[in-house]
Chain A
Amino acid sequence: MSETTALGVAQAKRWYWQRISALVLALCVMVHLALMIYAVQGGLSGAEILGRTQGNWGFAVFYAVFVLACAVHVPLGLANIAREWLGVGESAAWWLARGVGLLLLILGMRSVFAVFTGGS
């Protein structure tokens, strides 16, 4: 396989992961919205949120999956935008994307961990 073909196939796989993570996100967003609408009924407090999430494996797993999907989907999209609107080169766009992906993963998982354990 030539270098151009290998690059093309890699880009095709990225596109594929963009679509898969979008599917996951569509589901996660709908569940999250429904949850939020339910949760804000009659007001909302930090204690109320933690009361639901603390020690709750269901919530932890759900939001961990949500974070993972974001960490895949967002960098792919940002790299494309950087390429098409800012004229950033292929390699530079990908390093930018990986950086953002890592940031989202760390911040996201920290949040999931925090609401699961109930904070310090």
Chain B
Amino acid sequence: MSEPLNVRLWRGGEDGRFVSYEVPRRDSQTVLDVVTHVQRRIDPTLSYRFSCRVGMCGSCAMTVNGLARWTCRTHVSKVVGSDGQLEVGPLAHLPVIKDLATDMSGFFDKWARAQGQFSGTQTRHDDFAQVRPDSAQRQAASAGIECIGCAVCYASCDVVAQRPDFLGPAALNRAWTLVSDERDKAQTERLRAVAGDAGCHACHTQGSCTERCPKQIAPTLAIAGLKRTVARAAVRGKL
């Protein structure tokens, strides 16, 4: 039988601390398995979020050994340190409610502030919009629409840490999918919403968002697209 795993989990609020637990090692064990074991067998007061547990919903995102990831899709064997240490904390850059659960309302408020909602003008009485799926614009939009709002990108971004009003990679990625959507008619408002240091222009192209996104979305590219589009609009006096 292999050695038990020593895992440190964040307990408490912002001013909490890491607490150690001993968990039996198992084959193909994921970090979510470990956290679940602690809550069910050792300490039922542990608070954490999960849902699908199969890598589809993004609810189980946490900070594992310093990096934001989906715990259900993280094998312990892939991340455990050479000293057998595993450290799990709540997602960074979000207020901690308790233990491993964060308050994501700010993250979603920024989504709304980036004008991340579709605004069309067609009604049910109009014919379907004819959008060519192979156009460059539609491909740009399609590349970003699979985002499920897990906040891994947000937790990985240094600019989010340094500028509290920065909208963040997810919100800006969503804005870009709509800027690239020819059916949307709120383009000027959206470009205004994402212009400036609270918007796309504070991005330093660090790229952590693209590196860590579990759905292989590239918010860095989306933000670059927004910068180009805003610059063009500003130069033409359309903003």
Contacts and interface: CB of A to CB of B under 8 A. Distances in A.
B234 A12 contact: yes
B230 interface: yes
B192 A5 contact: yes
Contacts of A13: 234
Interface string B188-216: 00001101111101100000000000000
A15 interface: yes
Interface residues of A, number: 16
B19 interface: no
Interface string A80-116: 1001110000000000000000000000000000000
A16 interface: yes
Contacts of A12: 195-196, 199, 201, 230-231, 234, 239
Contact of A8 (B159, B162, B163, B196): B196
Contacts of B234: 9, 12-13, 16
Nearest to B194: A8
Interface in A8-67: 8-16
Contact of B196 (A9, A80, A83, A84): A9
Q: Is the interface of B mostly helix, strand, loop or mixed?
A: helix
A5 B113 CA distance: 12
Nearest to B231: A16
Nearest to B163: A84
B231 A5 contact: no
Contacts of A1: 192
Interface string B223-235: 0000100110011
A9 B192 contact: yes
A8 B199 contact: yes
Given A12-B199, A12-B231, A84-B162, 17 more contacts: A5-B195, A8-B197, A8-B199, A9-B234, A9-B239, A11-B195, A11-B197, A12-B195, A12-B201, A12-B234, A12-B239, A15-B201, A16-B234, A80-B202, A83-B163, A84-B159, A85-B162
Interface of B: 159, 162-163, 192-193, 195-199, 201-202, 227, 230-231, 234-235, 239
The 9 closest A-B pairs by CB, nearest first: A8-B196, A11-B196, A8-B195, A84-B162, A15-B201, A12-B195, A5-B192, A11-B197, A9-B239
